[in-house]
Structure 1
């Protein structure tokens, strides 16, 4: 059965019309556009036929057994992950070309797989055979009550996976506490940059710090562990602010750490300014890309441009970044140091860490050559006119 979906501009815009009957609204956390056509499908649909329909832009509303929908999604993923030739002309691609090809393929893969759809009822139940009771997980992202919604099965599984990370927490190396990330907030799963923060000595007399783009709040909590008396953490994302606040309260650090929703700096000055911006320059193709890609390096440039205005005398600016962008050819080798000079800053210390995450040792990764050479830096900066 083929149906026509009218467009809804946002998840809050009400119900759409599906063959003249009340139907769920379209919802995509990644910001993907809704399909122009919708087809009801069930367990009789084969993976090859499903993929053909998806390539034609048809959204597949699943009406069969829930577990069979998961199996279909896995089968579709396997078909899309089949090895492709490195280049149409047979030549070896550069790392930069491989990166852009890889990102395009991942984006196309996500959009296609996102067309296998599940209806979520207003109370976050799923009215399918053998559907799990995931109301608690879905309520964390979609709210306790809402209009009936169509969401991709792929997103749904991501929401539930994130709920488990939030419930169990992420262990932080060398610490006796955990961070509980929310869905859509970058999880501190890589330990290199956290270890650098733990090991770098604070500037003399450091009592006040600003943590810009705090995310889960993990850097602020590490600074509190190091003895900083007062930390103000900011983030432009309401979801990140809620996540950081929850982590701070869970650890009883409200007297040391204040969370504010701001694009960059809070009012006043601090002895230490810390920022861990997205490490790769590039367009954000979905709302979930924002933790990885910095469009036109707006966050990096904004932080460096404004930092000196918020730095107390004798203080330091800590910038945490990987050199992966340089290795991939996305940024010139000396571009970061040129940014420092243009912002009136100089380096007084550079703490480095090599990668320990699994992808650095996965030779099947198309970007393995760059990942294996990656170095994460914690640059300690001061204004150029500072004597020490």
Structure 2
């Protein structure tokens, strides 16, 4: 039975037209679509996009890109002013008399307002649409050849499937992801260049924050590393498995549920020359058997993902975190350790307290036997204009070494 795809509809040249709708973010096809070209003003486009009317571009590609930038500037201006056009006042500092609970509640409110603003911005900017031919080609003037980038995200071309429509914002994301995949990310913990790059695939979280990878390189291992079995839960690009293999670990089992991640991990491990030491498996958290060490780097923020590709950042209800903690002892060898890599950003945003985290350890029968800490080095940590700067500026990422509480008594 042929798959049924969402369809987008519009009128052009007096005819009813339709095409397959593509959205890797899972957005619904716009219900109202009008044609737009280089003659449309940015103000008119902004008004239509805010009303929920999509603009199917029929002009020059670079002009469409400039239109997208103009919409972004209007969104920035709107966010900086109130309904009367007056500049918004910065958020006042929280009074010192606030209790810890009041501080957490205020931080959480600010975070959720920030996410709402992000969602609104994404919705408006996604209203500039492009048509693709069956082979993912673009026919606009001065358009790039993005067929490889599209195929990496959408899959190989299927003959007879016909053309499709997607937002320009999504296309730019596909092109950016293609560049990451082509150029790779240098990981200092994998050793010296040139054989130290990870090549993330579209939809697989890129290890651009290398500080947490460095924790896995520094965490203590037994002297006979070749005899160790380690599970890497939620492997993603395979970067942590690669670091462990480069440290001489004899057997690593890397798991993930996402097909893109599994393909990405296998490709990276092969090009790094460590695939013989790492078994990549599709599994919901744990594989079969027992391990000396089980490492997991779950999404750091306990909030609902707004799209499928946000699952690497948001862990609704701390589902993956709690699944790892509660299942850990059943998959550890006696005297084994669980390595949990977790930022405390959620604590500074009022989404989870340190007491909540420690209580989750205790409820799972775990005790902390050691901890390694690091601070972020990415640009947002020092960018005072970032809406989450107050939390990011004090963020600490930790590798928690966890063991069976009963075995230590």
TM class, shorter-length: over 0.9
Cα distance between partner residues in 1 of 2:144 and 2:91 = 48
Cα 1:116/1:14, change in 2 over 3 Å: closer
Matched with 2:370 is: 349
1:194 aligns with 2:213: yes
- Pairwise CA distance, 1:314: 2.0
Spell out, residue by residue over 1:311-344, the C-alpha distance to the aligned partner (whole angstroms, 9 max, x if none).
0122110000000000111112311111100000
For the residues of structure 2 that align with 1:127 and 1:373, how far apart are their CA atoms? 48
> What is the TM-score normalised by the length of structure 1?
0.93
Q: In 1, Cα distance between the equivalents of 2:222 and 2:338?
A: 10
The aligned residue for residue 302 of structure 1 is 323
Using the TM superposition, give the Cα deviation of residue 12 of structure 1 relative to its aligned residue in structure 2, in angstroms.
Answer: 4.9
Report how far residue 21 of structure 1 moved. 4.5
* SS state at 2:328 partner: helix
Residue aligning to 2:146: 134
Taking structure 2 as the reference length, what is the TM-score of the superposition? 0.88
| Contact residue 203 and residue 272 of structure 1 kept, 8 A | no
Q: Does 1:121 align with 2:133?
A: yes
Partner of 1:155: 170
Query: What does residue 44 of structure 1 align with?
Result: 39
The equivalent position to 2:62 in structure 1, one of 46, 64, 67, is 67
Take 2:6 and 2:111, find their aligned partners in 1: how far apart are those partners?
A: 39
Q: How many residues align?
A: 379
Whole-Å Cα distance in 2 between the matches of residues 259 and 53 of structure 1?
47
Provide the residue aligned with 2:48 in structure 1: 53
Of 215, 218, 225, which aligns to 2:246?
225
Secondary structure of 1:293's counterpart equals coil
C-alpha distance in structure 2 between counterparts of 1:289 and 1:376, whole Å? 20
Distance 1:385 1:163, change over 3 A: same
Could you tell me how far 1:23 is from its partner in structure 2? Answer: 2.5
Task: Give the Cα separation in 1 of the matches to 2:150 and 2:328.
Answer: 39
SS of structure 2 residue aligned to 1:24: strand
CA deviation string 1:217-238 (max 9, x = no partner): 0000011011111111111111
CA displacement at 1:39 relative to structure 2 = 0.7
Residue of structure 2 equivalent to 1:6: none
Other-structure match for 2:20: 25
Flag structure 1 segments of 5+ consecutive residues without an equivalent.
1-9
Q: Is the 8 A contact 2:290 2:331 kept in 1?
A: yes
| Partner-residue secondary structure (3-state), 1:284 | coil
* 1:173 shift after superposition: 2.0
Q: Distance in 1 between matches of 2:178 and 2:317?
A: 32
1:15–1:23 Cα contact (<8 Å) kept: yes
Root mean square deviation, CA, Å: 2.1
TM alignment of 1:123-272, pairs within 5 A: 123-146=135-158, 147=161, 148-174=163-189, 175-176=191-192, 177-203=196-222, 205=224, 207-272=228-293
Return 5+ residue gaps in structure 2 as ranges.
95-105
In the TM superposition, residue 85 of structure 1 has moved relative to its aligned partner by: 5.8
Conservation of the 8 A alpha-carbon contact between 1:11 and 1:27: no
Q: Which residue of 2 aligns with 1:4?
A: none
**Contact 2:10–2:34 (8 Å) recurs in 1:** no
Instruction: Provide the residue aligned with 2:121 in structure 1.
Output: 109
Q: Answer whether contact 2:212 2:397 (CA < 8 A) is retained.
A: yes
Match of 1:320 in 2: 341
Question: Secondary structure of the equivalent of 2:231?
Answer: strand
Deviation for aligned residue 1:88: 8.6
User: C-alpha separation between the residues in 2 aligned to 1:362 and 1:58?
Assistant: 34
Q: Does 1:84 align with 2:80?
A: yes
The separation in 1 between residues aligned to 2:317 and 2:332, in whole angstroms, is 25
SS in 1 for 2:151: helix
Distance apart, 1:18 and its partner CA = 4.2
- What is the rounded CA distance, in whole Å, between the counterparts of 1:114 and 1:190 in structure 2? 27
